Structure 1
């Protein structure tokens, strides 16, 4: 059974809250200095089109948003739907394609999930994902493992997250990328 107020489970309006990560084989989701350009040669919108088609909105952390703004524009057909950035300080110059939220994590998930139109809400960013996991707001974790060892950077989960039990339900290979999918045990 689901709880639409928190966004957990398959609710009557559909869609799940999915933490989406690209990870190096040694467990980093970003390289030194938060670099994220290392995975673009492996992962495009066409690598796993079923995931892209299921996404209705994105909730992104401010750090991830800022790093992505500095990356070269990628030529993809991916439209993840409305993008929401959770931050303590919205930028002085707003981005017309983004809604900046300054609320708590539960309200941010509810707002972004409502905008997803019955599709999945994709959660990006280490801190935002950890907040969602701590509060039991996540239904699924999806990890794209790419064949790179970074040696340093931002770990998959921050220290102090605590134990989260997962149930594996899918693994798929597309080229050099392996997609692992887990349900979060409640």
Structure 2
């Protein structure tokens, strides 16, 4: 677990979500996020981010979207997967270890800044293991009707403490501490 009193960053689940609770649309579509939000909308989040731990599915979708304007430098990227690709991806480290070890590795690489957790499955695993300090949600003004839900089935109850909400254009950012 991170400790902000020693200057170590926090583990933050970071999500963009439709108003009806989806983080990706049908067929894992995430282009609607770029239609409504840019990485520059909340510069303080980027400034506080030192590394990212990403699920393989989210990594693959982001790779497909890379041709679009997705300049998002959140520091070193770590992808947790059972099967790393045969061709290495420069700037991406593929991890095949336990979720707790993956979080520790990526948090160490964050250099005292926050570690962002991206991807429904990886985030749910981190929440189930008590590895998350905060959840940051960008609520976008769209109803998708179907897709990938905010959390995976079977996550169980996680109590949260709201501590911030900020509006930037059409996007509302909600922040919660995970109660231990």
* Runs of 4 or more above 6 Å deviation: none
Deviation at 1:13, TM superposition (A): 3.7
Q: How many residues align?
A: 180
Q: Which has the higher helix share?
A: 2
Q: Deviations over 1:67-117 (max 9, x none)?
A: 111114343653100000000000011101100000000000000000000
Contact 2:2 2:8 in 1 (8 A): no
* Structure 2: gaps of 5 or more residues: none
Q: RMSD of the alignment, in Å?
A: 1.2
Q: Does 1:139 align with 2:151?
A: no
The answer to whether residue 99 in structure 2 is matched with residue 105 in structure 1 is yes
Q: Which runs of 5+ in 1 are unaligned?
A: 1-6
Q: Is this contact kept in 1: 2:2–2:9, CA < 8 A?
A: no
Match of 1:25 in 2: 19
CA contact 2:26–2:148 (8 Å) conserved in 1: yes
Scaled by the length of structure 2, what TM-score is found? 0.96
State which drifts further: 71-80 or 90-99.
71-80
**In structure 1, what is the Cα distance between the partners aligned to 2:71 and 2:155?**
34
Q: TM-score, normalised by structure 1?
A: 0.93
1:82-161 equivalences under 5 Å are: 82-161=76-155
